[in-house]
């Protein structure tokens, strides 16, 4: 062994190591030794979409009555008790008639005098409603609804629109029958040929030349992307949350008091550190801005209204609140006790973020 070159030994060891690593990694198409195939369990966790032909729809059922209970507890704070929504969200129900349910075309979509477009006026496939609720709702706790919950909530929405009766139970067995009653079911088209399969009458050739358009075009508008005023302070000062190297810089979104102090080279007043990660983890910033009202009041306004009142704020976070900041109630929050106490303490000790 002493006569064997040490360099050759080292190369042999490295080669064996690389070979073992490559052997342990399943080969993926075109990239040997990189990554691995997803397991069936991992694929199932992501593969939750429901197609217009209802492929992918999980088994289950839910009644209008149960849907009303779920709606009032998890949905009404944003979408209204009767789907009329509020000043922040667009209405879900309204604008459809019994005649629309018969024809499959919503007449008011062609009426320029009608004040708005609701979800049930526009949507052509019930799968779109079911899929969106399942993956994205409630806003502050997406994917927290079970399939049975989604069937129930969807049944309640359909009932509000007069599509199903009060005693109806929606399920994977009868959803295709309900699709045949959607008010705008005939209002869409697959002539664009963008649907990948042939199940929905795919056209022979996509309109990649846009011949239906490209006439009487107005000059293109030139704009620079920027945060709208109401969102600038929603996540603290972005300039302080980016690396000091590289081309990207966070825009300065400091509060007015801090900005004024920086401008005059004066020290800003010390304040409790904003628990940005905690607020985002519990989806608080979905409804509250730091200094701007979104769906609910700004954190700065809450802090000014309840200085030093940690217990009161904790109770409001856990039990919900209504009638204090306007017509939109805040439902009870399901965050952990430690997180709730930390947020309540931060608000109580702040003079405003």
pLDDT in 10s for each residue of the chain, 353 residues = 444 344 443 333 334 444 434 334 444 456 777 888 899 999 888 888 898 889 999 999 999 999 999 999 989 888 888 988 877 788 999 999 999 999 999 999 988 888 788 999 999 999 999 999 999 999 888 889 999 999 999 999 999 999 999 999 999 999 999 999 999 999 987 767 766 666 666 556 766 666 656 667 777 766 556 667 666 666 777 766 665 555 555 667 765 544 554 455 444 455 567 888 888 888 888 788 888 887 888 888 888 888 888 888 888 888 888 778 877 778 888 888 888 888 888 888 875 44
Tell me, what's the pLDDT at 9?
37
Tell me, what's the pLDDT at 178?
96
CA–CA separation, 274 and 288 (whole Å):
13
Tell me, what's the pLDDT at 312?
87
Structure tokens that stand for 47 in this block: 């593969």
Contact 33, 25 (CB under 8 A): yes
Question: E strands, 30-121, where?
Answer: 61-63
Region of 104 (left: φ > 0; alpha: ψ -120 to 50; beta: rest) is left
Structure tokens that stand for 256 in this block: 């007015």
Contact 164, 154 (CB under 8 A): no
Which pTM value belongs to this model? Answer: 0.60
Tell me, what's the pLDDT at 195?
66
Tell me, what's the pLDDT at 30?
63
Q: Which residues contact 87 (CB under 8 A, 6 or more apart)?
A: 327, 328
What is the DSSP secondary-structure string of 166-213?
TT-EEETTTHHHHHTT-TTTTS---TT--SSSSTT---SS--TT-TTS
Match 């059922």 to its residue by tokens: 61
Tell me, what's the pLDDT at 51?
87
Structure tokens that stand for 187 in this block: 């209002």
């Amino acid at each position: 062994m002493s006569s064997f070159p040490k360099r050759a030994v080292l190369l042999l060891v490295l080669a064996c190591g690389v070979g073992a690593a490559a052997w342990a990694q399943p080969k993926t198409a075109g990239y040997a030794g990189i990554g691995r195939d997803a397991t069936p369990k991992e694929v199932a966790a992501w593969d939750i979409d429901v197609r217009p032909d209802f492929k992918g729809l999980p088994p289950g059922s839910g009644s209008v009555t149960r849907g009303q209970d779920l709606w009032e507890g998890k949905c009404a704070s944003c979408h209204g008790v009767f789907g009329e929504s509020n000043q922040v969200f667009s209405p879900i129900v309204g604008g459809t008639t019994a005649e629309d349910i018969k024809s499959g075309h919503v007449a008011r979509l062609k009426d320029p005098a009608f004040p708005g477009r609701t979800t049930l006026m526009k949507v052509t496939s019930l799968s779109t409603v079911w899929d969106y609720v399942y993956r994205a709702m409630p806003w502050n706790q997406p994917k927290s609804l079970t399939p049975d919950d989604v069937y129930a909530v969807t049944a309640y929405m359909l009932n509000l629109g007069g599509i199903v009766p009060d005693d109806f139970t929606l399920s994977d067995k009868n959803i295709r029958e309900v699709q045949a009653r959607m008010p705008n079911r005939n209002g869409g088209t697959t002539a664009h040929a963008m649907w990948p399969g042939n199940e929905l009458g795919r056209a022979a050739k996509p309109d990649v030349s846009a011949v239906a358009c490209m006439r009487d075009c107005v000059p293109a508008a030139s704009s620079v992307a920027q945060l709208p005023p109401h969102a600038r302070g929603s996540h603290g000062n972005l300039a302080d949350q980016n690396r000091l190297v590289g081309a990207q810089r966070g825009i300065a979104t400091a509060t007015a008091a801090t900005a004024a102090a920086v401008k005059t080279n004066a020290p800003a007043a010390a304040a409790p550190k904003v628990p940005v990660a905690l607020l985002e983890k519990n989806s608080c910033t979905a409804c509250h801005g730091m200094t701007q009202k979104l769906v609910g009041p700004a954190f700065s306004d809450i802090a000014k209204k309840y200085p030093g009142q940690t217990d009161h704020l904790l109770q409001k976070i856990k039990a919900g609140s209504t009638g204090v900041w306007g017509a939109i109630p805040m439902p009870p929050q399901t965050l952990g006790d430690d997180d709730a106490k930390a947020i309540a303490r931060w608000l109580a000790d702040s003079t405003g973020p």
